[in-house]
Amino acid sequence: MKQVVTVRNLTIGEGMPKICVPIVAATEEEIIKKAEEIVRYPADLIEWRADYFEDAYNLEALASVLLGIRKAIGDMPLLFTFRSESEGGCKAIGAKDYFALNLAVAMYGEADLIDLEIYQDLERAKNVISMLHEAGIKVIASHHDFEKTPTRSEIMTKLSKMQELNADILKIAVMPNEIGDVARLLKITGRTSINFEKPLITMSMGQMGMITRVAGESFGSDITFGTVGETSAPGQLHVNDLKLILETLHKYHS
């Protein structure tokens, strides 16, 4: 039976896919301003992409920004993400420092979920997931491939490992090189959502894969990413357009 994940007042894993809007800005002032702007839109949760922050390696600076975001967004769930350069992010970071940074963020108490690139180091990831859970943090285990769409077997293996490590939500984002890649990911998502216990996030990036960002309720992807201004990945739709499409599909899905 598929599990749900409840974060503050939000339940992930049932009904329409939840809309997450990322903050991609360089300075603390710009980040807080963007957080204040996003709450006026139909977002369900906010992601702070900390790798865009100019002082992202400074733990005290991270703590200050997290507190400012929390004040701006109130009780809206907050996802913290430091996307490494190796998985399409803005800054390089070694595995040891990467996991230490995420643990430090958990201790500040402002983030509700943390995106964890488990393939930085699977053994470290296993221990860190356990520690994040002890701190009351939900974990999105993630893997991103900005060059291709892996085979069905490769994708299933990665998702299985995420579930094995007891992540709360499993995330795969891939790049299509032909329309068949998009169709394959949707098929994999549909099968995985039936056979796996955990909520899923899957997406095929770019314009070709845009359909995967709105078809989650039919195929089993539980969070989708929309924009208010800057995008954090290719193919994202504006949050207003995304909400309208999801609501329209939901009406007929029900």
Residues that are catalytic: 144, 171
User: Measured between alpha carbons, how far is 205 from 2 in angstroms, rounded to an integer?
Assistant: 26
3-state secondary structure 180-245: HHHHHHHHHHHHHHHHCCCCEEEEECCCCCHHHHCCHHHHCCCEEEEECCCCCCCCCEEHHHHHHH
Instruction: Give the span between the Cα atoms of 150 and 159, in whole angstroms.
Output: 12
> For tokens 């809309």, what's the residue?
19
| Nearest-angstrom CA–CA distance, 10 and 183 | 30
Residues 112 and 101 sit within 8 Å (Cβ to Cβ):
no
User: How many whole angstroms from its chain centre is CA 76?
Assistant: 15
- Residue 89, C-beta contacts closer than 8 angstroms, at least 6 positions apart: 49, 51, 82, 83
* Strand-strand pairing, 200-204 and 223-227: unpaired
What is the greatest pairwise CA distance in the chain? 48
